[in-house]
Homo-oligomer: A and B are copies of this chain.
Amino acid sequence: MRTQPRPPSTGRSLEHPDRDLIRLEDVLHALSDPMRLRIVCTLAGSEAEQSCSVFDLPVSKSTTTHHFRVLRESGVISQIYRGTAKMNALRRDDLEELFPGLLGSVLAAADRQAARRETAAR
């Protein structure tokens, strides 16, 4: 449940692949980068859409923009302009319909890897 109404989408729209055109290879490629995986894990942990600006990645702004674009063009996330903000959300339902369990197993794998690294760093 959202606590406040979202601003409506502005006219500018971004291209997204139709669900049936989402390719497994592209999804896996999109998820194969540490920064993009981090973005996806953050989005997975949030009910609401997230603005690009909340992601504090250790890369340049243009690289960040590139990563979001790869995620959108592969069908992993949707992006929509609301006011001046570009808002991001996982395309969970589409991915689940196409590839049941895939996103969940990748997110779980990312969690396990992060936990393993944390243990190793101690």
Binding site for B on A (CB under 8 A): 20, 23-26, 28-29, 31-34, 37, 98-102, 104-106, 108-110, 112-113, 116
CB distance from A70 to the nearest CB of B (A): 11
Which secondary structure characterizes the binding site on chain A?
Answer: helix
CB distance from A37 to the nearest CB of B (A): 6
How many copies the complex holds: the figure is 2
Look across to chain B and name the residue whose beta carbon is closest to the beta carbon of A36. Answer: B25
Q: Are A109 and B98 in contact (CB under 8 A)?
A: yes
Q: Are A102 and B113 in contact (CB under 8 A)?
A: no
| A28 vs B37: C-alpha distance when bound (angstroms) | 10
Q: Sort A-B residue pairs by CB-CB distance and give the 9 closest, nearest first.
A: A99-B109, A29-B32, A28-B32, A105-B105, A101-B105, A102-B105, A24-B113, A102-B109, A28-B28
